[in-house]
Amino acid sequence: MTVILDGKAVSDKILLELKIAVAAALETTGKDPGLAVILVGNNAASRTYVEAKKKACHEVGIMSFEYKLSVTDGQAVLEKLIDHLNADAEVHGILLQLPLPDGFDEQAVLQRIHPDKDVDGFHPFNMGRLAIGLPALQPCTPAGIMKLLEHYQIATEGKHVVIVGRSNIVGKPIGLMLVQNNKNANATVTICHSKTPDIGAITRQADILIAAVGKPEFITADMVKPGATIIDVGINRVPAETKAGYKIVGDVHFEDVYPLVDAITPVPGGVGKMTIATLMATTLQTFRKQEGLPSA
Ligand code: NDP
């Protein structure tokens, strides 16, 4: 029987625990954790993610501050906003919704966020610490995947993990997490990308296959090893006869792959839910540090 790795159920449990922890932190400090979310432009998918993050904040008791900028505001206004939020004591975490529209220097903005408020873990300070195995604020999607694997007791030690996609947001950091020398990692990691020839020959070796490609149903049944664990990070809108005119599919051809494997994440209801729950957990973590509470 294939196990569905139910990100919704696991994230619901995490959010419930966080709600209790946030209430306790409020009682101790008299303060609410605050998360600032910045959206630049009008990308429909980004708007949906920002709404989902706001909803999760509301659910666990984190204050959410939303900042909407238009494309014409430009880099200088965005950087000024970051400076303002870095200095704002009510804001414990700053999330810049990516991707930024064309014309913005994404790295310059990410590097302007104070590392202590960098809830996405994209600042080189945090990414560097992650790389060398020191405690750091970690990117939410990879950290959420690690939690999901842990929840389902899917061991990674000694396993061959193949990651398709080398972005700074997903592919590289999940590779860094899994290759660390500790019992929750210790995997042998291969990262593939668009210049990798014959990807199927590599993905077929994977005990755990992580797809973060951004191409609908890219991973087909002939690309997986029977009995593998499949983590589908992809969120792709494809045209469909629904009210919205589209449906969401992953980077894995779920229907064909599902019968072959031991475990698989659904899309939606898999990694995406874990990403948001992890963002909430990281915001509480930054709050605790900034308000002088011991780390949980
Ligand atoms: P990026 O576009 O930044 O990276 C995609 C990666 O896939 C790149 O490394 C690219 O290679 C590689 N790639 C593209 N085409 C191919 C191909 N034909 N063969 C092999 N590799 C290929 O995407 P992200 O990492 O930001 O996101 C990936 C997916 O995950 C998207 O669907 C996104 O929406 C989703 N996502 C989901 C999240 C969640 O919470 N579930 C969070 C973040 C993203 P190269 O570097 O050579 O160009």
DSSP 8-state code for residue 159? -
Mean pLDDT of the chain: 97
Residue 38 burial (C-beta neighbours within 10 Å; 0-12, 13-18, 19+) = buried
295 has a pLDDT exceeding 90: no
User: Which of 170, 172, 267, 276 is the pocket-test mutation for ligand 1 (most atoms within 8 Å of CB)?
Assistant: 170
Residue 276: what pLDDT?
98
8 A C-beta contact, residue 18 and residue 282: no
Residue 296: what pLDDT?
78
pLDDT tens digits, 188-197: 999 999 999 9
Where does CATH 3.40.50.10860 sit in the chain?
26-117
Average confidence (pLDDT) over 67-95: 98
Average confidence (pLDDT) over 237-259: 97
Residue 183: what pLDDT?
93
Pick the CATH number of 140-273 from 3.30.930.10, 3.40.50.720, 3.40.50.970, 3.40.50.300: 3.40.50.720
Residue 113: what pLDDT?
98
Q: Is the CB of 164 under 6 A from ligand 1?
A: yes
Pick the CATH number of 26-117 from 1.10.3720.10, 3.40.50.10860, 1.10.10.10, 3.30.70.100: 3.40.50.10860
100 has a pLDDT exceeding 90: yes
Distance CA 128, CA 126 (A): 5
**What is the residue whose two structure tokens read 């409020």?**
26
Please provide the DSSP assignment of the chain as one string: -PEE--HHHHHHHHHHHHHHHHHHHHHHHS---EEEEEEES--HHHHHHHHHHHHHHHHHT-EEEEEEE-GGGHHHHHHHHHHHHHH-TT--EEEE-SSPPTT--HHHHHHHS-GGG-TT--SHHHHHHHHTT------HHHHHHHHHHHHTT---TT-EEEEE---TTTHHHHHHHHHSSSTT---EEEEE-TT-S-HHHHHTT-SEEEE---STT-B-GGGS-TT-EEEE---EEEE-SSTTSEEEE-SB-HHHHGGG-SEE--SSSSHHHHHHHHHHHHHHHHHHHHTTPPP-
Characterize the bridge pairing of strands 63-69 and 34-40: parallel
Q: Closest Cα partner for 145 from 49, 295, 273?
A: 273
Q: How far is the CA of 167 from the centre of ligand 1 (A)?
A: 6
In percent, the amount of the chain with pLDDT more than 70 equals 100
Atom of ligand 1 nearest to the CA of 274: 40
Tell me, rounded to whole angstroms, the distance of Cα 97 from its chain centroid.
Answer: 12
pLDDT tens digits, 125-140: 999 999 999 999 999 9
Q: Is the CB of 193 under 6 A from ligand 1?
A: yes
Q: Which tokens go with 120? A: 């996405």
pLDDT tens digits, 45-60: 999 999 999 999 999 9
Q: How many CB atoms lie within 10 A of CB 148?
A: 24
Average confidence (pLDDT) over 246-264: 98
Residue 43: what pLDDT?
94
Distance CA 100, CA 295 (A): 32
DSSP 8-state code for residue 218? -
Q: Is the CB of 145 under 6 A from ligand 1?
A: no
Where does CATH 3.40.50.720 sit in the chain?
140-273
293 has a pLDDT exceeding 90: yes
14 has a pLDDT exceeding 90: yes
Atom of ligand 1 nearest to the CA of 276: 40
Tell me, rounded to whole angstroms, the distance of Cα 135 from its chain centroid.
Answer: 17
Q: How far is the CA of 212 from the centre of ligand 1 (A)?
A: 5
212 has a pLDDT exceeding 90: yes
116 has a pLDDT exceeding 90: yes
Average confidence (pLDDT) over 115-126: 98
219 has a pLDDT exceeding 90: yes
Closest CA to ligand 1's atom 1: 167
What amino acid positions are annotated as catalytic residues?
53, 97, 120
